[in-house]
Each structure stands twice: as C-alpha cells, then as structure tokens.
Amino acid sequence: MEDQYEKLGRLGGGSFGVVFKARDTETNEIFAVKTFYKKKVYKGCLTTAIREATLLKLVKHENVVRIRDVVFEEEELYIILEYLNSNLKKYMKSCPNFSKNLPLIKMILYQILCGIACCHSHRVIHRDLKPANLLIDLRNNLVKIADFGLARKVHYTIRPLSKDVRTLSYMAPEILLGSRLYYAPADVWSIGCIFAEMVNGKPLFKGKSEIDQLFCIYEIMGTPEEDTWPGVTSYTRFDSNVPRCPRKDLASVVPNLDEYGLDLLSKLLYMDPCKRITAKDALEHEYFKDIGFVPT
C-alpha cells in the first residue's frame, strides 16, 4: 500500500480511522485514502467499510464521489477515493459573500439533488448529508456527495434503522420523534436544511439536544398535529404537552429567496415525510427553470 501511495497530508478523521491525501507513485494522480484503524477492522468497521465501498460502486454519478479501489492488507483496510480540494462547509466559511451569491447556491443545490436522486433511484439513502460531506472542486464548482459510511440500501420493508446516524442540525423530524422506519425523505429534509444554511449563512435549526432540536423545528415549521401530519401522535417521542407553535412565514426566516426558492424550500422541509417532495421532483421545480448547469 505505502509503495503505491505516498501520503501528502491528513484530510480528516473520526472513530473509524483517518483520511489522508495521497499521490499514486505510478501515475502521479491525487486521491483521498480512507484508512481504518487496525484494532477496529474486526469490530464492525470491516462490515461498514465493505458496505460503503459496495454502495459507491453501485451509485455511479457525476455528483457522487468515485471509488477507485479497496485494499486490505496486514489487518488494515483502505478505501481509495477521488480527491476534491474542498467541501461546502469550508467553502461557505472562506467566501464572505457566499450567501449573497444566489446563482451559485442554486447551482450547488441542483447538483446535490442530482446526486441524491441517483442514490435514491438505487434505493440508497445517505443518512448523513451535511456541508462537510459535500465535496467541491473549486476549479469548476463541481459538487460531489461523499462519506457513505452511514449509507444504507433499503428495500422499503419493515426493517428498523438506527436513529443515531446524523448531525443534529440536519436530522429529519421523523427520526427525532423516534421513528426507525425512515427512507429517502430523511435525506431530502437534510438537503432543505443545507439549502437554507447556504442562503442564511448559518444553520436553520440549531438545537443543543434532540429535544431542543425538535423545539427549534417547531418554532419555525409549526408544531405538528394529526390533521397536518397523520400518525404523528403515535411516534414514541411525540409529546402532546409541548407548546403549540404556529408555522412561520419562511420569507421572514430565509428573506433572500424569491418566491420559487421559498416554495421549493417549503416542500423540502415538509414536516410529514410522506408529503415531502422527492429529489427527482425537486429537480423539475420552477426554481431551476433558469439553471445553467446540467451535470451528466
């Protein structure tokens, strides 16, 4: 492994191991190498890594990071991935006027939806969409969805999923309310949160705990009721005693969007997941009528 790839620096890390930038010594190409800690390879990480690699090989799209290879040697596991020089989180921080560049935001949102629509067409849900997991090639503002470590292929059968899977600010209300039967709409909610964050320059819902996150959502989107979200009172964490909050006008919460942008945002953030717009349908929304970027 080290004979073929020269480490050029650390890109990040987590409980699984470390991601580093590397150069292929034979071709001089640059890659991101996700390496798993030796002691954890046999404690669940091996299954997670193989699942991630399998899903990336399944979902091939311009807006999804490409996988080159999987290497397993000397009890260590490596996933060789396409390298991009930034991510959306860093990009937003480095550009003082990013939130005012609405055409750029529209182009980025369109690409995110394209990539996730492809994932959903293969019945793959990402479950951890957030700005840090959206890579960007700064040369052409090409966006690619990355970090499929928590992604799953679902068959829409009665099979519960873990709820502790994503960053709080982008977690869908059905998960926060205790559902373990959630699918593609949960990703769509995350995209709505990312959309609002790009325009506002800060997270739309910023709770300190799961309960607080729900209250933050209720304060803007309104406290759900049976007539607006059939079945919501049956969720294990639904509390009928919480204060009833009316839905706010999104124009006052995300004031820089035009009427089409606000309409799309409201559909991405529809509380009832059954009525939430799909990624595929979102691409056909009037908001994108003047989109000048169409990835292959």
Q: How far apart are CA 112 and CA 143, in angstroms?
A: 7
DSSP helix/strand/coil, 147: coil
Single-letter amino acid, residue 64:
V
For the chain, counts of helices (H) and of strands (E): 9, 10
Residues linked to residue 181 through DSSP beta bridges, in sequence order: none
User: Phi and psi of 229, rounded to 5°?
Assistant: -145, 85
Catalytic residue among 3, 24, 128, 212: 128
128 is catalytic: yes
Q: What does the chain come to in residues?
A: 296
Q: How far apart are CA 124 and CA 122, in angstroms?
A: 5
- Specify the pairing of strand 124-125 against strand 67-73: unpaired
Single-letter amino acid, residue 180:
R
- Compute CA distances 165 → 12, 129, 150, 168, 277, whole Å: 19, 10, 7, 9, 22
User: Phi and psi of 75, rounded to 5°?
Assistant: 65, 15
Active site positions, annotated: 128
